[in-house]
Structure 1
Amino acid sequence: MHSPNPIDHHTPHLTGPAQPIAIMGGSFNPIHYGHLRPALELQQRLGFAAVHLMPNHIAPHKAHDSTTTEQRCAMLELAIQGAPTLVLDTCELTLPQPNYSVATLSELRQRYPDTPLCFIIGMDSFINLPKWYRWESLLDYCHLIVCQRPGWQPTYCQPLRNQVLPHQITEPSLLHQDLHGHLYFTQVTQLAISSSQIRQLRQQGQSIKYLLPDPVIDYIEQNQLYL
């Protein structure tokens, strides 16, 4: 691996337009339409070259079912077949554990030194950002794309007000022009679907149809997952 480039704490300006790569992390256990629809909407609305769906490591004490990392990745691949702008990215699974978002973004910055990176998070994660490891460094590697809840006015703590909110932009073209350093709020279709709900329905012997793509349902049933 190449040695990391020194991080410029000033926002670098690119000489020409570039299509950003977006990153959406999660356990994806299993992946469902609540993940897929926002990823596709953001890719099309903000002009991302692709959205990298990045399964995270599940600690052994949280692995409450028998699903393996390989099975989570297999379901994700089935879910995005036919959607070339949605990509499975196993970067986080290959890094030493315990791993943190800032380390993953540092690795991605080395892989894509000249490409804007956009890290997609929900509002719940954003308001808890000061609890993250080295959270103040995130904007040194990426832009933050925060998915807002319609009509919800969150309360921001003082560290967020001081460290992150001054980087807010309203013009998405800046996400293409600069490598990192911006904060952009947007709304997406929020489907009231959760992976835990799907697992619970399976345990109760109820149908999970219309909550996730049929090829993923077939895989779950064939492999007797979440029982």
Structure 2
Amino acid sequence: MSSRPLAIFGGTFDPIHIGHLSVAWEAAELLDAEVRLMPANVPPHRPAPLASAAERVAMLRVALAGQSRLALDARELGREGPSYTIDTLRELRDEQGERPLVLLLGADAFAGLPGWHRWRELFDCAHIGVLSRPGVDAVLPEALAREAASRRVDDVAALRTASCGKLIELAVTPLEVSATRIRELLAEGRDPRYLLPGGLFDDPALLQPYRR
């Protein structure tokens, strides 16, 4: 198996910011993969987004313009109810056949994986790439540590030898950018100019959901 992997990077993207784009881009380079940013409809583990689905898609389209490494996949926005990752991965597996799939997760999100819906089944559909800080090891719950022990690989080439089931840590450059803080700044009438993709400031309507 030598297909180029398809990696999925999910989130509310409320709004999409440079921290999201930076780690997604680095992961795409490290994996030599196509990376799709996938906005969640109703996230099970956090409050509902402030911006509507259509507004978040509009921001993502602007943010991703002018490059071809990162793409938008809005399928979860058309699904009613909570956006369970296992449902999305099963759908992608049916579409992609034996192509390697990689679910990209931040280290904190990965450590909380046992709280996810049918979390063990995620490995039946995809590899997991943990976006980690260089030199920082997360403490994992015992059940997750046991599940992960036999799945760890160090070489990204190993992800091309199977369609799913492996775990790899990807050392990326984390940017301390908070979507919550960005929303606060916008609500105060300020412009977080270098925390958001520049194109979002070209159309005032794009950031209107966060203005008071």
Is TM more than 0.5 here?
yes
> Cα deviation per residue 1:10-36 (whole Å; 9 max; x = unaligned)?
xxxx3xx11000000000111011000
Structure 2 residue 17 is matched with structure 1 residue 36: no
Give the deviation of 1:222 after TM superposition: 5.7
In 1, Cα distance between equivalents of 2:206 and 2:56: 14
For the 8 Å contact 1:18–1:177, the answer to whether it is kept is no
Cα distance change on mapping 1:31 and 1:64 into 2, 3 Å? closer
Size of the aligned set, in residue pairs, is 209
In 2, Cα distance between equivalents of 1:90 and 1:222: 17
In 2, Cα distance between equivalents of 1:79 and 1:149: 24
Give the deviation of 1:147 after TM superposition: 0.9
- Indicate the residue corresponding to 2:42 in structure 1: 58
In 2, Cα distance between equivalents of 1:90 and 1:149: 28
- Indicate the residue corresponding to 2:64 in structure 1: 80
Give the deviation of 1:207 after TM superposition: 1.9
Name structure 1 gaps, 5 residues minimum: 1-13
TM-score (norm 1): 0.86
TM-score (norm 2): 0.92
Which of 151, 155, 159 lines up with 1:171 in the alignment?
155
Which of 59, 62, 70 lines up with 2:54 in the alignment?
70
Give the deviation of 1:131 after TM superposition: 0.8
Cα distance change on mapping 1:223 and 1:135 into 2, 3 Å? closer
**Structure 2 residue identity aligned to 1:196:** T
For the 8 Å contact 2:14–2:49, the answer to whether it is kept is no
For the 8 Å contact 1:75–1:219, the answer to whether it is kept is no
Query: What do you get for the CA RMSD once the two structures are aligned?
Result: 1.7
Which of 125, 134, 141 lines up with 1:150 in the alignment?
134
Cα distance change on mapping 1:219 and 1:58 into 2, 3 Å? farther
- Indicate the residue corresponding to 1:22 in structure 2: 7
Cα distance change on mapping 1:20 and 1:225 into 2, 3 Å? same
Cα distance change on mapping 1:125 and 1:63 into 2, 3 Å? closer
- Using the aligned pairs only, state the percent identity: 35
- Indicate the residue corresponding to 2:85 in structure 1: 101
> Cα deviation per residue 1:46-99 (whole Å; 9 max; x = unaligned)?
110x1000000136x93463x210010010010010111111001212233123
**Structure 1 residue identity aligned to 2:191:** S
